[in-house]
Chains A and B, each alone.
Chain A
Amino acid sequence: MSTTETVAAPAGLFSRLQAGPTRKDLQDAAQLALQVEFTTVPTYLSGLYSISDTGSYAYQTLRSVVMEEMFHVNQAANIIVALGGVPKFTGDAVPVFPGYLPQANPDTTPYLGLYRASPDVFRNVYEAIETPAAFGAPAQGDNYDSIAQLYSALVNAVESYDGNPFTTDGPGRQRTDIYLGKFGGNVEPVVDMESFKLAVQEIIQQGEGTVPPQAPMNPLEQYGSYNHYGHRTDGTYGPIIGTPYELSHFMKFRSVANSPKDFPATYPVISNPNQDDYTNPQAQQLSWVFDLCYTLMLHAFEKSFSADAPDPYFNVVLSIMHGVLPHLARSLMQTPALRDGDGSVGPNAAPGWRSLDGGSVSPDTLARELEHILTGYTGSRADTTVRSLLHEAHKNSVEVATLSEQLGLNSL
């Protein structure tokens, strides 16, 4: 069994955390937590985009989880900034699939891949990622059995730091404005021990639902507002406060896995795709463009947490996440991987979520590549759906390119 190569945690990080951490050690530990959160996102999105009915329960459930994972990423990034660091999303920090969660115990945690969604994937992969810690489980740094135990180690380390580990004049920029939509939780600035612990608490509770249903996260609510919608105990869908156990990611996934007959249709995509295996040139092109787009997004995302850079979040990152990446993912998933294949039958290509480091990555290239790819679509009826998705992606990529240039971010 091979272990993950996704992160090379500095040797002995956890023994240093226990022995008396430096602020850099704390930053490294928080960065690890961020990467753990971020690693789940491509796994979930691969499954999400493979579901064709966006209104289905499985799609809606998975979407709500992946949105909340983005909230965890944002919250973890704020922790890093509060500890005086700058969150890293590029280079070594990019997750590689398939693999384990960074530094996780391979015997007790799931092997993460990029899978076409199915009830088994929900049960054996997604549910396993969000498995609750056993009651009284110890803090674990290296080789952790659950995400909660990793966070326990982080909290212990921050508490044992000699002095005030929190700073407001580091090189990073905390953000509370990028977590949009109706999903649970609120990104809060991290400024002291109390806000740090609340941030961690919210992440853990949302994932694993260690909170029993009679004790929602009241301390985090602003005068008790309903903070999201979901399936309620009265059997209807509607407003919910906090994260009762049945709305934890773990239980949401379980509810999908437990009703396999209701599972929606999916595109016939390859799991754990490898672009080099494709013989359909369109699939190869699209796969490469997807990775380019993803790389751009990561670079811009990193900059959005850096205090000294122009802020590309609302005109580059959000535009890519909202208006380019999903269209490209769905295009790929309806494109046969093999020459002369049938997109309804498969096997179809799928996003590889690879970072194209080394070469030039510019928003302008993305727009031009998409334009070029579009010329290869002849207008046959079979192409209609993919063409219209690509058209939308292209239109938005042109906007992104223009706005990036205006920000002085010609290359990212």
Chain B
Amino acid sequence: MSHYKVFPPIGIARVGNAPTDFYIGPETYRGLPTTVEGATITEKGFRDAQGRLCRQAARFRIYDDDNNEITLNTAGVKSITWTVHMANKKASWYEFATNEGERGYSSTHPLRNASVKGDDRRKLMIDPGPRTITGAGAGPVAMDRESVPNGYTGAHFPEGTLYPNKDSIDTLGELRTDTDGRLLVLGGLGVSGTRDPAATIQQYANNDGWWDDTGDGPVRAQIEWDNGQVDTVDAAWVSVAPPSYAPELANLVTLWDTIFDSAVRAGHYPSICENGYWHSGAQGYRPNFQTEIKPLLERAATYTWVAAIPPKAHSFDMDGLGTVPGGNEDGFLGLRNWILDILRPPNQENTLISKRGSTMMPYLAGDNCLKEGTLVSNYLRLTDTQYFFLQQWAAGHFVNETPQTPAPQALTRSVLDNCVGGAFSPGIELTWISRDRAIYRDDDPLRINAAEPTEGPLNLGFTPEAMEPGDLTRYMAIPWQADFNECSSQPIGDRVLWWWPAQRPEFVYLEKEPQPDNEAFMKLAAGTASDLPTPSQQTPNQYPWVGTGFDQTRDDFISFADDTQMVEYWSKLGFVMGKEIDGEQRFVEVARTLPRPFNSDD
């Protein structure tokens, strides 16, 4: 183990179709992205001058054992050299079939593009080979088909024109450095397509012949000191995901929660759970209201901005709920217990209505509500660790204090807290592979076991002790737009549940009401004769982010009727951003270039 590590251990870049403009992904929890100069972006910052959607760079930093950041400005540092090797292995991997495969695939599990056999399957990977960058303000260093390093034998890109957009995948992104020599990784341009001009998408996760330009891989660094010494830094991982359309809203279960939970249960945090034994009760672990409880309540509250969810039931008296029972007083025990009782406990992933008759929360679809079988998991629940914290809190065993988290750990948590940690069907950034302890280092529970650098080609199998480029994102939907479009609402039994409202908005508020004399609005409100919504039955100003919102059985209910349309129009969708409107803070849709109502003939 080195004395130097790259942070965050997992960083997330996001696609965009703007070729040059980009911003840096939020490095604070529920923060807005920033510019390279360090300014928080405004609503104008989501797009370039031509209205194209900017890419989100993942920034990586180096910290030493004492949590001091090492940059080019650090005394004694001569240079910092970064090496990134990203790949996209989606087309070469198994089909995604909910949670099947999490404990290893069976021999009956179908491969994607199964007609491609043997060594030809390596041609189902997109692999630009490794790239290196050094210095301050350097780059861009493209990870494209033109610049494959000499000697790298595994390079491959899809050939020819891809439909429906008649474009091609020529790059997985680029590397840059900021003014202090920190690494910026940009992902692909959001190009997805197939060689088949018909360009049909058959289902949400597996579409043979299709490609997209997401990817992932290790981020390595070396520090060269003035005295000639060279230190190798513990590698991190970068993964490329869809855009974050509501960056200031977090999911109830974040990627941090999921990875942290897997580490807790594996015994890496013995003050919480030791040898499988939870430290509960008055003498046990006391969660901090500010970092371990309040965020969960806030996430429930802010969902109401991006889904048709009643605000009353999701508004909480934080002062009361954060009051630590002391001495002779506990004025909120009943309310804390009431909240705990509403939440779906572990092992009740298929319970919607509790024995007392209440609808269990979250009202979100689970890991497997799509396939029958032994692994059915209809509804999302909190992680074991989240639930344990809430149990302790409800019982009154908690603290409420300002956290003192060291910078690198805070950065890690913030970056991952801005990502989805469930349901994994497959998900937005990463799926259930993220909670497989086998892929993480024993001595550093959030850091992935990176394989040694290779001259290629990459392998087709699963080597958790030596993870290769492409080994994280290959589980995700191909193309990502298919899952992103379809996973808006989910009928389960006689209910319609939501997927990831904070990452993939379902209903949004507008800055201003469309005027009733606006022809387009009237058309939307009137619908077709059989739908019979009247303007007053529509929510006065909450609107479907995509599609229509009045009939939950329609193909275009809060989605495009055809997944291919998401491939065409994803970059025109609006972002949800906090703004002060009429004297109060609201989260409203901004920077949308797609007309509303949407008409595919436009």
Question: Contact residues of A with B, CB < 8 Å?
Answer: 48, 54-55, 59-60, 63, 177, 179-183, 185-186, 213-216, 218, 221-229, 232-239, 241, 244, 311, 313-319, 322-323, 326, 399, 403, 406
Contacts and interface: CB of A to CB of B under 8 A. Distances in A.
A172 B241 CA distance: 55
A232 B329 CA distance: 44
A223 B540 contact: yes
A54 B509 CA distance: 35
B308 A238 contact: yes
B312 interface: yes
Interface stretch (B205-213, B409-417, B446-454, B545-553): B545-553
Given A54-B353, A55-B352, A225-B539, A239 B309 contact: yes
Interface of B: 304, 308-313, 317, 320, 328-335, 337-338, 341-342, 352-359, 491, 494-496, 509, 532, 534, 536-537, 539-542, 550-553, 586
The 7 closest A-B pairs by CB, nearest first: A224-B540, A318-B334, A239-B308, A319-B334, A54-B357, A55-B353, A182-B313
Contacts of A218: 536, 540
Given A236-B496, A237-B494, A238-B496, A225 B542 contact: yes
A179 B328 CA distance: 26
Nearest to A182: B313
21 contacts: A48-B357, A54-B353, A180-B338, A181-B358, A182-B310, A185-B312, A186-B312, A216-B536, A223-B586, A225-B304, A225-B311, A226-B308, A232-B552, A235-B553, A236-B496, A237-B495, A239-B308, A244-B537, A311-B331, A315-B331, A406-B328
Contacts of A314: 320, 331-335
A214 B245 CA distance: 33
Nearest to A63: B357
A226 B309 contact: yes
B196 to A, nearest CB: 35
B334 A216 contact: no
Contacts of A182: 310, 312-313, 359
Given A225-B304, A314-B320, A241 B537 contact: yes
Nearest to B534: A214
A64 B357 CA distance: 10
A185 B311 CA distance: 11
Contacts of A241: 537, 539
B307 to A, nearest CB: 8
A214 B537 contact: yes
Contacts of B309: 226, 239
Contacts of B541: 223-224
A213 B536 CA distance: 9
B539 A54 contact: no
A226 B310 contact: yes
Given A180-B338, A406-B328, 10 more contacts: A54-B356, A181-B358, A186-B312, A216-B536, A224-B541, A225-B539, A226-B309, A315-B331, A406-B329, A406-B330
Contacts of A180: 313, 335, 338
Contact of B550 (A59, A234, A244): A234
Given A216-B536, A223-B509, A223-B540, A317 B310 contact: no
Nearest to A310: B331
A63 B309 CA distance: 19
A229 B310 contact: yes
Contact of A221 (B496, B540, B551): B540
Contacts of B539: 224-226, 241
Contacts of A60: 353, 357
A362 B359 CA distance: 33
A224 B586 CA distance: 13
Contacts of A227: 310-312
Contact of B537 (A63, A213, A221, A326): A213
A313 B333 CA distance: 10
Contacts of A215: 536
A132 B430 CA distance: 53
A183 B494 CA distance: 19
Contacts of B341: 322
A399 B394 CA distance: 12
A236 B542 contact: no
Nearest to A228: B310
Given A214-B537, A225-B539, A314-B332, A236 B491 contact: yes
A330 to B, nearest CB: 9
Nearest to A321: B334
A317 B331 CA distance: 11
Contacts of A181: 313, 342, 358
B552 A399 contact: no
Nearest to A326: B356
A316 B334 contact: yes
Contacts of B509: 223
Contacts of A213: 537
Nearest to B396: A399
B134 to A, nearest CB: 52
Nearest to B312: A186
Contacts of A59: 357
A60 B532 CA distance: 27
Contacts of A234: 550-553
